[in-house]
Structures are given as structure tokens and as C-alpha cells.
């Protein structure tokens, strides 16, 4: 059996005219977190969700709301997302000149703090901040869109980060992996050290999304790790 992991379905691939339905799917499937992709059409070439939508989600679910900010000047949005009801707020290292300030702002709201890096950003860029965050979001696709293919080199990167965290007594920092996660590669990602898996199109692009969520957990349980 593989180690415990959390599944965070990304509502980016859900029907935006029926977000309550998406929350129900996550409930029925037994998902752990709800992953919310925030895009500003500047940091990434797409435009999605802001604090008012998170506020509505908050009214309709007890689940942990995980906000992934793909925006420049993330410091401006920390307080609004915290007030809207986010439980974790993740920002991108590439999006700010002052990561310490963003981390302190998120920490000040009492929410969990996440730091993310694009596939091409060296891991060394986030090392100075790891002792101040709760999770590292490893992008396994170029941020901006759902439905892309998993970048194979991501598995080695997850292993490298996991080892670094262990060697530096930072095992409390969780690794979240986002992009191209499917039923067929989930176990590879978990074995490499992924603690929280984000899955968008695999869940919401399916005819039976509740079953896909359940299958993620069942597959991991049925796998014997060596
Ligand atoms: C991409 C987003 C992802 C996206 C994942 O920028 O951060 O969360 O929704 O979608 P899939 O699982 O389809 O790659
Ligand atoms: Zn995301």
C-alpha cells in the first residue's frame, strides 16, 4: 500500500455554470481538498476565478479550499482570498520580487502557506523559503491550462525535493503535484514523494467523476510499494 496522500480535484475543468455540482462530486467521491486555480491573464495566459467565487464555494462546502494563485503581485490578493475562506494560499516564486513578504502576509492570516515553481524554474530558487512554508506545489505542466500532459522530468524533481526536505529536517513540508495527473501515473507521483495530488481533467472530464475520485484512492491502496 502506498503512503497516505490527499487528492485535490481542480475545479478548473468543472462546469463553471454548476460549481455547486462540482462540490457535490467532490463530496460524493470523498475528495480531501478542493483546488482552485486563480489566473490573472498576466502571469499566465488565462483568466479564471477571484475571491467572490471562493466566497461562494466557502458557503457551500466544509472541505479544505486550496487556492493556487497564478498571478503577478500576489501580495494584493492574499487578504481577499483569506477573507473569502481559503484554507491554503499558494503563490508562485516567479511572480513576486519579495517572497518573504508574501509568505508573512499569508502566515498573518492564519492560513496554510504554499510556494510554487514552474517546471523550468530551478529548485534552488525556493530553497531559502522552505522553512517558512507548509507546502511546495510542484508544477508538472506549464501553468495556465488544464488537460496538458505530465512532464516526465517532474518525477525526478519530486524525488529531489523530497530528499532535500528529509535531509534538512523539513519533512513537515508537504509536496503537492499539479498538472497532468491521471489514474495511470498517480502511483508514480505518490511513490516519488507527492503528498497532495491535484487532478482536473481526469476527474471533471470523465463521465463518472465521483468514481474517478474513488479510483484514485482505491488504486493507491491496492498498490504494494517495495
Ligand atoms: C494548471 C492548473 C492545474 C490544472 C490541472 O495551471 O494549475 O491545477 O487544473 O489540470 P489537469 O489535471 O487537467 O492537468
Ligand atoms: Zn493548480
Q: Give the integer Cα–Cα distance in Å for 154 and 214.
A: 24
Q: Give the integer Cα–Cα distance in Å for 139 and 177.
A: 6
- Pocket test of ligand 1: the residue of 11, 37, 149, 199 to mutate, having most ligand atoms within 8 Å of its CB, is 37
Q: pLDDT at position 1, please?
A: 61
Q: pLDDT at position 221, please?
A: 77
Active-site residue flag, 167: no
Measured from the Cα of 140, ligand 1's closest atom is 14
Is the pLDDT at 225 greater than 90, yes or no?
no
Q: pLDDT at position 222, please?
A: 79
Model pTM score: 0.97
What number is the average pLDDT over the span 37-55?
A: 98
Which listed residue (32, 40, 66, 178) is catalytic?
178
Topology of the domain comprising 6-221: TIM Barrel (3.20.20)
Q: What residue ranges do the domains of the chain occupy? A: 6-221
Distance from residue 170's CA to the centre of ligand 2 (Å): 23
Backbone angles phi, psi at 65, to 5 degrees: -100, 120
Instruction: Report residue 188's pLDDT band, with 50, 70 and 90 as the boundaries.
Output: very high
Q: Give the integer Cα–Cα distance in Å for 153 and 180.
A: 12
| Interval 47-77: pLDDT, tens | 999 999 999 999 999 999 999 999 999 999 9
Amino acid at each position: 500500500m502506498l503512503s497516505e496522500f490527499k487528492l485535490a480535484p481542480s475545479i478548473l475543468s468543472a462546469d463553471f455554470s454548476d460549481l455547486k455540482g462540482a462540490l457535490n462530486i467532490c463530496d460524493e467521491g470523498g475528495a480531501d481538498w478542493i483546488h482552485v486555480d486563480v489566473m490573472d491573464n498576466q502571469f499566465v495566459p488565462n483568466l479564471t476565478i477571484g475571491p467572490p467565487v471562493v466566497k461562494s464555494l466557502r458557503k457551500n462546502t466544509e472541505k479544505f479550499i486550496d487556492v493556487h494563485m497564478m498571478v503577478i503581485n500576489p501580495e494584493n490578493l492574499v487578504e481577499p482570498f483569506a477573507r473569502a475562506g481559503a484554507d491554503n494560499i499558494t503563490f508562485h516564486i516567479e511572480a513576486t520580487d519579495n517572497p518573504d513578504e508574501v509568505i508573512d502576509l499569508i502566515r498573518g492570516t492564519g492560513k496554510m502557506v504554499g510556494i510554487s515553481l514552474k517546471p523550468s524554474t530551478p529548485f534552488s530558487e525556493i530553497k531559502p523559503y522552505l522553512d517558512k512554508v507548509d507546502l511546495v506545489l510542484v508544477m508538472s505542466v506549464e501553468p495556465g491550462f488544464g488537460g496538458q500532459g505530465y512532464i516526465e522530468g517532474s518525477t525526478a524533481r519530486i524525488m529531489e525535493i523530497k530528499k532535500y526536505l528529509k535531509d534538512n529536517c523539513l519533512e513537515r513540508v508537504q509536496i503537492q503535484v499539479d498538472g497532468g495527473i491521471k489514474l495511470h501515473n498517480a502511483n508514480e507521483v505518490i511513490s516519488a514523494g507527492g503528498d497532495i495530488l491535484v487532478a482536473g481533467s481526469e476527474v471533471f472530464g470523465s463521465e463518472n467523476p465521483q468514481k474517478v475520485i474513488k479510483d484514485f484512492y482505491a488504486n493507491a491502496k491496492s498498490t504494494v510499494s517495495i
